[in-house]
Each structure stands twice: as C-alpha cells, then as structure tokens.
Structure 1
Amino acid sequence: MKKRAIKILSHVIVLSALALFSCSKTETAKPVESGQPGSTKPVTPPPGDTFPEQTPGITVRKIDTKGGNISNYLLYIPDTYNSEKTYKWPVVIFLHGLGEMGSDINMLRNSGLAEVVNGKPFVMIAPQCLSGWWNPQYLDMVYKEVLASYHVDPSRVYLTGLSMGGFGTWDWSSAHPEQFAAIIPICGGGDVNRMPALKNMPAWVFHSADDPIVNVENSRVLVKALKALGSPVLYTEYPTGGHDAWTRTYANADVYTWLLKQHK
C-alpha cells in the first residue's frame, strides 16, 4: 500500500505541475493441393510462419526505429506462445502514466496492466515515454514493429492506458482508429471534436467521480459526445477511488472477457 501511495502521489505531483503550465480463435492453414493420382506434378507446401520463438513472461526490448521519445518497451509473452504455432495472439498495448515516464523501464513492471499481466491470454506491449507526452507519430513506430515482429492478430490489437496514458489512448486511437479493435481509457481525457473518428470504436471508459487530478468531466464529456453519435461506448464511473481508477479496472476479469471479444 505504501508503494501504491507513493506511485499515485507521483502522478499527482507531476500532473498538478503540468496543469499550472497548460491548464480465442485458431487460424487454419490453407490446405496443400495434391496432384491427381499418378500425377508427377510437384506439390508446393504453403509458406510457414517465420516468427522466431520468444521468451515467456516479461522482458525488456528496444525498438529498432531510432528517434522520437520512445526507445524501450516491456514485452509480455504467454507461456504457450511458442507451442501454439498456428494461433495468432491478440495484443494489448498499455500506455503508462506520468509517474513512470523516464529511462528506468523497470518502473513499468509495477504499473497498471503490466503489474497484473502474468497469466493473461494475450501479448502485452508497454512502451516507455522518455519525456514530454505520448505522441501518436512515435507510437506508430512501435505499432508497426510489433505487427512485424510477433505472431499477433492485426484484427485484435487493443489499446489501454491510465492517467497520461488515458489521454494517450484517446489521442492515438482518434488519430488512427483503423489500427485498433477496442480501447480502454482510464482516468484520462481528450479532444471532444475528435470523437466522430471513434463513433464505431468499441470503448470502455473508466474514471473515479472524486478524482482530484484529472477531473471526471474529462471522461464524461467524451462519453456523452460518443453516445450522441450512436457509439457502443461503455462507461464505468467509480464513486470513490481518487485518481487510482486503474487498480480495480485491471483486476476485473470481466474487462478482459469484453476486450478479447472485440475484432476489427
């Protein structure tokens, strides 16, 4: 509890300072064609997967593309990733908050989704923002590398984040809605004028009514705009909890059941 209190306090301090300045499906391989009886026509096998095996659990990876304010990410690989050769895994991209910004990637291990991801049936990517703010341009570099490097399903890429990462979730998904099957923004906010881009996006939004750092109206106004557009958005507002709306959210099994049902 003391660690969590310190973590939440760090979000409070940094967000307050900024405010002063700025306000499972299995894929079947295509059958191999066989020649007619007695035919000497050679049979060409279908191309196989070329994705290398990965170390199960959480490891640290560097992105190949240089530049921007992201250089590392945490990678979580499920235990059966290497043995299920034909299965394309769903992937969840997790964006941390201000308290984890910097160059110590291991800080992310005890943050939000990364803290509870062990045993989950998906690949997790948790990039670290070195400085500034989440930038969709640099996040796109991570996205492209993930799809090229891991045996994941492009139709089941999900995005979630807390605090600064909640803002990043709204911002990135509204800039490139075609990249994601569903989003879960937690105690964040965004530009209400960009909500038409997300009117068909499955979204489940979380916030605490008594959040002293990111006012709950930030989520309410976006949810209201989406509902007016006919969006299927879901909204859970905790009556209490302060700025930490993520601990109980990422501990809720129903959240993952809903998330993993979504497809592009």
Structure 2
Amino acid sequence: MLSALALFSCSKTETSLPVEVKPPVKDTPVVVPPPPPKDTVKSQTPGITAVKLDNQSGTIKNYQLFIPADYNNKKDTKWPVVFFLHGVGERGTDINQVKNVGIMKVASGKPFLIIAPQCPSDEWWNLKSLEILYKEVMAKYNVDVNRVYLTGLSMGGFGVWDWSAAYPEKFAATIPICGGGNASYATKLKDMPIWDFHCADDPTVNVSNSRDMVKALKAVGSKILYTEYPTGGHDAWTRTYANAEVYTWLLQQHK
C-alpha cells in the first residue's frame, strides 16, 4: 500500500521536460568557382616575322609583323598598333623587301605592334584590300582599338591620306611622309591628329603636295603639324622615323 502511494505521489509531482525539435540541418551548398577564363591571346614570335594573310581575297597577300618583346608576358595589355605603308620600290611578291624600310628598319624596342603589308607590283594601295587586312589584324592580335595609327612614305604617304580620309573613324592619328592627297579630304580629316613631313627639295613628289594639304586642313580648323626639311630630296622618312619625339607624340593620341 505504501509502495503504491509513493509511486502515485512521484507520478503526480513529476514534470515532463519539453523536447526541443530542431529543424533539419540543410547541407551547406558548395560554391564552385567559375572556371578561369581561357587564354584568348595567342602567343606571337617577338621581333619581325613575315605573315601570310588568312583572307586571300584582296590584292594584299602578306605583311611583315613586329611584336614587342614583352607582348606574350602581358596578356591583359591592349597594345597600340601602327600600320605602315611602303613606297613604290617595295612592291612585288618578296615580303622581305618590306622588312628593312621606313619604320620597320627602326622597329626594335618600340612599344607597339607594327603591321607592314606589301603592295603587289604595278598596283597602288587598294582600300578594299587594306580594309581586309585591318579587320584581320583587329581580330587576331591583342590591340587597343583606340590607339590605331597609320603612317607611310611616298606612295605609302599618298595611301595614308587616302585610307584615313575614307575611314577616319579607324585611326587615332596619322603620319604621312612625302606624299599627298586631295584637298577635299580636309573636311573629313579636320579633327584627325596629323603630323605631315616633306623635304622642300623633293624631286620625286613635289613639296606642294604636302603644302596644299596642310593649307586646306588649316582652312577648316585642323591643328595639323607640319615639318618641312629644307634639304633631303625624296627621303624625308629616315630622319622622321629616327626621331623619338615622333613616337612620343604618336602614343599620346587616342580616340
């Protein structure tokens, strides 16, 4: 009897502790980092090499390419690029003729790519073919589209005026040397940074070709720079491409 009473007494005073029900533990999601971007910058051979144009539909079939020494080590760098148009003497099918003329002759150490196409024999610089080259270069190399420059000598100087007037939006600055253009180009090029060079005693391309272009451009408000060497004959390019100030000025120009 006492045992039953004691048992009854204990059961009356016992308090049931609540059972804590915890929500199910969710697995912490595993964050998988995205794969690193693929290296889209193809390594190039530093220095000067001859390159065959992928698109062979134009008259330009190949070009000399200059790649700066640290191009492959700076894959995040967008490089300035200079298009160089040679003169009559380098036309033909031997691309090596372009290797040691004009800006290509002093390419070593320059902080930009140089593209020097070859014009076929008995032809002039063809704008359609130059545009094919331009499109391929923009897609193939790691270049800064806001710092694309154009220079050329003699026949190439005429080519500079023609190409830049036809497509002024493509170039940040131009350096035509001992060439000439059409005065009607002035309105198209009035905002283009231009530094023109010519020798006063040029027997091949009369200096009036540059003087007329400079006059026409200044008449529409252009800030064109013009350097006229008193002597030097047709060769106004050797001292121009050897002048460090030319490249300092050039690389300061951008769209």
- The TM-score normalised by the length of structure 1 is 0.83
What residue ranges of structure 2 are gaps of 5+ in the alignment?
A: 1-27
- CA–CA separation in structure 2 for the residues paired with 1:119 and 1:217: 35
Pick from 113, 124, 142: which aligns with 1:133? 124
Deviation at 1:68, TM superposition (A): 2.4
> What letter corresponds to residue 155 of structure 2 in structure 1?
M
Q: Identity of paired residues, percent?
A: 65
Matched residue SS, 1:215:
coil
Aligned partner of 1:213 in structure 2 is 204
- Structure 2 partner of 1:59: 49
Give the AA of the match of 2:41: F
Provide the secondary structure at the position in 2 that maps to 1:169.
Answer: helix
* 1:250 lines up with 2:233 in the alignment: no
Which of 209, 214, 220 matches 1:223?
A: 214
Cα gap change, 1:209/1:39 in structure 2, threshold over 3 Å: closer, same or farther?
farther
Equivalent position of 2:185 in the other structure = 194
CA offsets per residue over residues 177-212 of structure 1, 9 Å max, x none? 000000000000011112211010000000000000
- The total of aligned residue pairs comes to 227
Gaps of 5+ in 1: 1-37
Inter-partner Cα distance in structure 1 for 2:47 and 2:207: 35
Amino acid at match of 1:78: P
Which residue of 1 is the match for residue 94 of structure 2? Answer: 104
RMSD, aligned CA = 1.4
Asked if 1:91 is matched to 2:84, the reply is: no
- TM-score normalised per structure 2: 0.86
Q: What amino acid maps onto 1:119 in structure 2?
A: G
Q: In the alignment, which residue of structure 2 is the partner of 1:159?
A: 150
Cα separation, 2, equivalents of 1:260 and 1:247: 19
Output the amino acid matched with 2:191.
Answer: N
- Aligned-pair distance for 1:232? 1.7
- 1:39-72 deviation per Cα after TM superposition (whole angstroms, max 9, x unaligned): 7555446745502100000000011111222101
Q: Is the 8 A contact 2:80 2:148 kept in 1?
A: yes
The one-letter code of the counterpart of 1:242 is G
Bigger radius of gyration among the two: 2
> What is the alpha-carbon distance in structure 2 between the residues aligned to residue 93 and residue 231 of structure 1?
22
Aligned pair in 2 of structure 1 residues 198, 46: CA closer, same or farther (>3 Å)? farther
Write the distance in 2 (CA, Å) between the matches of 1:161 and 1:154.
19
CA deviation vs aligned residue, 1:14-48 (integer Å, no higher than 9, x gap): xxxxxxxxxxxxxxxxxxxxxxxx87555446745
Secondary structure of the 1:173 match is: helix
Superposed displacement of residue 120, structure 1: 0.5
Equivalence for 2:253 = 262
The residue aligned with 1:75 is 65
> What is the CA-CA distance between 1:174 and the residue it aligns to?
0.2
Q: CA deviation at 1:113?
A: 0.5
